[in-house]
Amino acid sequence: MTSKKYMTGNLDLTKHDTGTGAHRQRKPVYMDFLPPCNHACPAGEDIQAWLALAQNGEFEAAWQKLIEDNPFPAIHGRVCYHPCETSCNRAHTDQEVSIHAVERFLGDLAMEKGWKPQFTAPAGGKRVLIVGAGPSGLSAAYHLIRLGHEVEIREAGPFAGGMIHFGIPAYRMPRDELNREIQRVVDMGVKIVLDCRVDDIEAAKSEGSFDAVFVAVGAHLSKNIEIPSRDARKMLDAVGFLKSVENGEDLQLGRRVAIYGGGNTAMDAARTAKRLGAEEAVIIYRRDRASMPAHDFEAEEAIEEGVKINWLRTIKEIDCTTMTVEVMELDENGRPQPTGRTETLETDALIMAVGQETDTGFLKKVKGIEFNWDGTVIVGPNMMTGATGVFAGGDMVPSERSVTIATGHGKKAARYINAWLRDDVYEPAAKHPIVEHDKLQLWYSTEAPKRAQGELSPSARLGGFEEILQGYNEKEALFEARRCLSCGNCFECDGCYGSCPEDAIIKLGKGKRYLYDYDKCTGCASCFEQCPCHAIEMVSEDAVTPVKA
């Protein structure tokens, strides 16, 4: 008697019966691959899973799935630069799926409906102190609460939110939605103490009987560069400028404002200056547009609002309201080089936006913590510093800087902190191979361009800080979610079932996928060749067939 094997994405059933013979050299197997959107998400969201729920109209279930990884969909649906969409395979067909817009819809709907996170926290938790109430600290607190621990955040400033609150203008991140998502974390049991600067980590840990500390103080200090100046009228740093605007201070910028820098903060500073009444806002940047760190859409929106950008320019000297700038040229390596040619600009105020640094000096007294040359803190793969029980994340550790990356750091740190507190070891799950566009077999018509989000006209924007982009309604969100191609994972289209000439595929019912009857399968690969999402792979007849948990 030979072994008869049935294979599915979830089952491995064996019966004794006759064999399949020698005619088949390859056999099909159902696989689960990694979609590129999931792979690209810095917060580690299972984007494909929550999109699948959303496209069925199961919005609360989709939101619950989303917040397993990212507690702030209404925030990230607005401020994330959505690398998931840059990686989306659908861009090869028409346009990428507008993932951020669906995420925002779910986040806003959750606040409208009053949905609460559903989870069961394991018993036996400990006490954790978090320093900094920015996206990384808030994310860590949220996940630690879900993991059964007691959490207190201490924030030096008057508001929670960190650079989301002070560094992102309200026209991109309205404060009501920001505060309501933060309040959800408080409602789950996280204690946030504002205006509470922590200067001595060890003392705070001991006095509060905390078992672990997560430090996420962000990068709030503007970098300084030397510019020769004589009687410069008004010079501001971009972070301080944006904070002052948020606090409602009267800055009296004048009619002409120059902004030195080429990042997103420079764009925000220039656009904010226009909203405060500046007739001219000019960005000065030493490289060309292709090298500009600001995202393209930020630069485009700034230009739409009347901001001027002087590429390949660097400030040489400031004399009262006159600024001397030198024209730069790119060398053969694409690096800017001085030309000796200069221009003059008249300006009433200069805003410096040349980058931010993190204030980690207070950690130097903690034995074991080491630093990089730029002041960032060295951490291990488990996010722990050289001091036992002290973890760090967000902008204060070496990495790219964004709200979503910081949020992902918070989740990652929470998992390692939880394991450390429970004398356990956290091992991230192994990732499946990524499914690229050339693996898909899109035999059906997929032409359905994404739905654009409504937005304020450039002239209407400058009247205040009203949010520029509008959200999707339910119909638009459903349409957009249904544009997902489900790359790498079976969505039960019945294509394999209908194409099999030997009736070797068994349907298991909705949500249970299919079985292969290898006694009937000839290895013709018709199922593989038509699978639109590449959830089927042809393997050698004698290969070990993977069984999915």
**For the chain, what are the domain ranges?**
2-32+490-540, 36-117+431-481, 127-220+358-421, 222-355
Helices (H), ranges, 247-324:
264-275, 296-304
pLDDT at 473: 97
Helices (H), ranges, 114-200:
135-146, 163-167, 175-187
Between residues 548 and 68, which one has the greater pLDDT?
68
Q: What phi, psi does 28 have (nearest 5°)?
A: -85, 145
For 231: left if phi > 0, alpha if psi spans -120 to 50, otherwise beta; the answer is left
Q: How far is CA 165 from the centre of its chain?
A: 17
pLDDT at 3: 41
The band of 222, judged by pLDDT with boundaries at 50, 70 and 90, is low
Is 178's pLDDT higher than 90? Answer: yes
Torsion of CA 521, 524, 530, 533, to 10 degrees: 60
pLDDT at 7: 42
The band of 453, judged by pLDDT with boundaries at 50, 70 and 90, is very high
pLDDT at 220: 65
pLDDT at 545: 55
Q: How far apart are CA 212 and CA 429, in angstroms?
A: 24
Cβ neighbours of 457 (radius 10 Å): 9
Least confident range of 194-203, 331-340, 381-390, 412-421: 331-340
Residues 159-187, mean pLDDT to the nearest whole number? 94
Residues 140-155, mean pLDDT to the nearest whole number? 98
pLDDT at 429: 86
Contact criterion met (CB below 8 Å) for 356 and 326:
no
Strands 313-319 and 229-230: parallel
> Nearest CA to 490 among 96, 25, 28?
28
Is 549's pLDDT higher than 60? Answer: no
pLDDT at 234: 80
pLDDT at 59: 98
Residues 69-97, mean pLDDT to the nearest whole number? 95
Residues 489-510, mean pLDDT to the nearest whole number? 93
pLDDT at 29: 94
The H helix count followed by the E strand count for the chain is: 18, 22
pLDDT at 548: 43
Residues 221-241, mean pLDDT to the nearest whole number? 75
Is 230's pLDDT higher than 80? Answer: no
Q: How far apart are CA 481 and CA 50, in angstroms?
A: 9
Cβ neighbours of 290 (radius 10 Å): 8
The band of 9, judged by pLDDT with boundaries at 50, 70 and 90, is very low
Question: What is 222-355's CATH topology?
Answer: FAD/NAD(P)-binding domain (3.50.50)
> Nearest CA to 77 among 149, 11, 174?
174
Q: Helix, strand, coil proportions of the chain in percent (round to 5)?
A: 30, 20, 50
Per-chain mean pLDDT for the chain = 89
Q: How far is CA 438 from the centre of its chain?
A: 26
Question: What is the SS3 string spanning 500-520?
Answer: CCCCCEEECCCCCCEEEECCC
Is 17's pLDDT higher than 50? Answer: no
pLDDT at 354: 85
Question: What is 36-117+431-481's CATH topology?
Answer: Fumarate Reductase Iron-sulfur Protein; Chain B, domain 2 (1.10.1060)
- How does pLDDT run across 341-375, given as a tens digit for each residue? 999 999 999 999 887 777 888 888 899 999 988 88
In the chain, pLDDT over 90 holds for what percent of residues?
A: 71
In the chain, pLDDT over 70 holds for what percent of residues?
A: 93
Between residues 8 and 135, which one has the greater pLDDT?
135
Least confident range of 32-36, 109-113, 117-121, 287-291: 287-291
Residues 27-43, mean pLDDT to the nearest whole number? 95
What CATH class has 127-220+358-421?
Answer: alpha beta
| Distance between first and last Cα of the chain | 28
- How does pLDDT run across 264-306, given as a tens digit for each residue? 999 999 999 999 999 999 999 999 888 888 888 899 999 999 9
**Tokens, residue 61:** 């279930």
For 523: left if phi > 0, alpha if psi spans -120 to 50, otherwise beta; the answer is left
Is 504's pLDDT higher than 90? Answer: yes
Q: Does domain 2-32+490-540 have CATH number 1.10.3720.10?
A: no
